Structure 1
Amino acid sequence: MKTIDDRQPRRPGPGGRTAVRGEFGHLRTRISNRTFAAKLALWAALTAGGAALALHPAPWSRVAGVVLLGCMFAHAAELQHQTLHSLGFRNRRANRTAGIVLGVPMLISFAAYRATHLRHHRDLGTPQNREFFDYGNQYGADGARSRWRVGLDWVVRFTMLHFYPQFLVGAARAVARRDYPGESAHTSRGIRRDYHVILGALLALTVLSVVLREPVVLWLWLLPLLLVAGPVHALIELPEHFRCETLSRDAFANTRTIRSNRLMTWFTNGNNFHVEHHLMPNLPIERLPALHAEVRPRLKHFHSGYLDFFRKLVRG
């Protein structure tokens, strides 16, 4: 019996996102609270396991714990992305609460990320497009660039050097109770709330480190964040629009999909189906593979896996 992966997809009719949404609106299903709760439970269990390993004195355990925690920090950002679109839980407050918690490990304000990300969906294909995570040369712009500059671009991207100063500025505004440029008073209040939560968590772990005379905050947060989560998150985000036609309004031209395997689809929380997500942002994450099967013939930027993408990227 053929599965959704090997059956012949039906070619959609002409038109852009509006036509696709009209034709495949039947793919929408009710948001499953249990599915997202199960995702959160698995993430929490793996994060707790990473913490236990990182606090064990054996060097191999420390390393394994830091790597696992860093990967779970990056996975949390992908789960948070689902809450930005109110696709985790059916209840808006539950989505917001989960989103705030999921953003803490990578210092991400839920309110700031949500506002910026929804504008990204609106403005992609125009010069006004901006993304929450600034990697410098965001989409791999062509042009005469020295080898030194290209190398610097990659260092900035994988160390997320632009993001951490952005966090410090945002946190300082929160402490000073100031609004954020370009955001409404309501959104600014939400951003301040998120930064207060993050700063409170940092303070709590720092105090615990002093009390226990053990650098808990270093092993459980700073090292996983800086050495693992940042680079892994950059690797996940890189293929989405990199070297696509980002001044085109056509989602088939400005975005990339990576089919990948079940492990990576889980790890990226379905964000590998990125064209499909931009075509129907309110489609439950679990339904993106079904939409992929329908629109696969129209995909312009498509790779069968992440290794395939990065192999071709390195080869130029």
Structure 2
Amino acid sequence: MPATLDAPPASPGRAGAGSDFAPLARQVRASGLLDRRTGYYARAIGLNLAATAALWAAVAWAGGSWWVVLLGVPLAVVSARTAFLGHDAGHRQIARSARANRVLGLLLGNLLLGMGHGWWTDKHNRHHANPNHVGKDPDVGEGVLAWTREQAAGRRGPLRWVARHQALLFFPLLTLEGLNLKVGSALFLRGRSRRERVVEGGLLALHAALYVGLAFTLVSPAKALVLIALHQALFGVHLGSVFAPNHKGMAMPRPGERWGHLRRQVLTSRNVRGGRVTDWFMGGLNYQIEHHLFPGIPRCNLRRVQPLVREHCARVGLPFTEAGLVASYREALGHMREAGAPLRGRP
């Protein structure tokens, strides 16, 4: 699999009169699918908070037994649901005002998860603006993993060994993603305004105090450490498992290439085929093409907008990429193996 894929010729980047995205944008806007679904999100947030409280009550009830550490599994699942809601708040899908969405993002991200809303929003918006574009998309930037052969060739020391075997190491490395999100959130605040440091940093500190304090109060220190480790490891695996199939192995614009909005979002994204269970497991992000084209559309409307997007792509001659969950992982991991191939002595 090549590090970059060919794409149709570029088109205007905005949904202007001559844009191939404009007709689709008008159609979706007229359909009402962009309208806020406050009732849906009120129920989702309420159920999520209730589930979180119930699980910590279960930790208190079962705290005398080592079986309590297994509650780290449902805690990770519920934490991922919280992260998906925070993601939606960051895209202003939930409330009508930017302020209300920011408050929700701070409460869901900083307070409940210990993941900075400002850090995530900054990083994720840059990803949406230039998905899969090396040098512009932080999700394919320099890091532990290499997303192109050029990145892999530049690895030195232990990171070279990681890049050589990264397809095999991918899921084990995701066990550290929960910790990575917290560290990245804290480091992001170093260059921010005093107000951001106070508000976001204060909520992150409050989360840490409440989370660690609750765990060590309800169960013995040894059980608390294992419970926290399992919770955070599986939380990282869950989130990474959702985000991995979305873009890995899809088109990567070459330096200097300029694609219009429709091509930039469709060619770099992969949908994951499935039913309601897949929708729930992936927080709606299995509709990655639709989400990238219309990041403000409420999650519950993504399934309904898909036929409109699929038909429009067919009309303009754009490939609409969709795969099953297992096949999407196979393609993503295949891309990672290909990126590290030269380090294993393969052409």
Common fold by TM > 0.5 = yes
**Could you tell me how far 1:103 is from its partner in structure 2?**
1.5
- Contact residue 53 and residue 62 of structure 1 kept, 8 A: no
**Could you tell me how far 1:110 is from its partner in structure 2?**
0.6
Alignment match, 1:171: 186
2:85 counterpart SS class:
helix
Between the aligned partners of 2:145 and 2:250, the Cα distance in structure 1 is: 11
Alignment match, 1:89: 95
Question: In the TM superposition, what whole-angstrom CA distance separates every residue of 1:28-73 from its partner, at most 9, and x where no partner exists?
Answer: 342122110111112122223332344413444431x110001111
User: CA RMSD for the aligned pairs?
Assistant: 3.5
- Contact residue 247 and residue 268 of structure 2 kept, 8 A: yes
- 2:329 matched to 1:310? yes
Between the aligned partners of 1:127 and 1:134, the Cα distance in structure 2 is: 6
Alignment match, 2:137: 130
Alignment match, 1:223: 230
- Contact residue 241 and residue 255 of structure 1 kept, 8 A: yes
Alignment match, 2:24: 20
Q: 2:281 aligns with which of 261, 267, 275?
A: 267
> Which runs of 5 or more structure 1 residues have no equivalent in the other structure?
1-13
The more displaced of 71-80 and 190-199 is 190-199
Between the aligned partners of 1:262 and 1:169, the Cα distance in structure 2 is: 32
Taking a change above 3 Å as real, the CA distance of residues 263 and 192 of structure 1, as seen in their structure-2 partners, is: farther
- 2:35 matched to 1:30? yes
Q: Which has the higher contact order (CA 8 A, sep 6+)?
A: 2
Q: 1:200 aligns with which of 206, 220, 223?
A: 206
- Contact residue 120 and residue 185 of structure 2 kept, 8 A: no
The one-letter code sitting in structure 1 at the alignment partner of 2:102 is R
Taking a change above 3 Å as real, the CA distance of residues 60 and 179 of structure 1, as seen in their structure-2 partners, is: same
Taking a change above 3 Å as real, the CA distance of residues 69 and 232 of structure 1, as seen in their structure-2 partners, is: same
Alignment match, 1:237: 243
Taking a change above 3 Å as real, the CA distance of residues 169 and 98 of structure 1, as seen in their structure-2 partners, is: closer
The more displaced of 265-274 and 104-113 is 104-113
> Which runs of 5 or more structure 2 residues have no equivalent in the other structure?
1-17, 154-159, 314-318, 336-347
1:24 counterpart SS class:
helix
Q: 1:49 aligns with which of 48, 54, 59?
A: 54
The one-letter code sitting in structure 2 at the alignment partner of 1:73 is S
The one-letter code sitting in structure 2 at the alignment partner of 1:41 is G
Alignment match, 2:157: none
Q: 1:277 aligns with which of 291, 297, 310?
A: 291
* TM-score when normalising by structure 2: 0.70
- Contact residue 115 and residue 181 of structure 2 kept, 8 A: no
- 2:140 matched to 1:120? no
Between the aligned partners of 2:47 and 2:267, the Cα distance in structure 1 is: 35
- Contact residue 86 and residue 95 of structure 1 kept, 8 A: yes
The more displaced of 231-240 and 135-144 is 135-144
The more displaced of 193-202 and 90-99 is 90-99
Between the aligned partners of 2:195 and 2:141, the Cα distance in structure 1 is: 23
Question: In the TM superposition, what whole-angstrom CA distance separates every residue of 1:240-272 from its partner, at most 9, and x where no partner exists?
Answer: 111111317322211111132212212322111
Alignment match, 1:6: none
Taking a change above 3 Å as real, the CA distance of residues 211 and 240 of structure 1, as seen in their structure-2 partners, is: closer
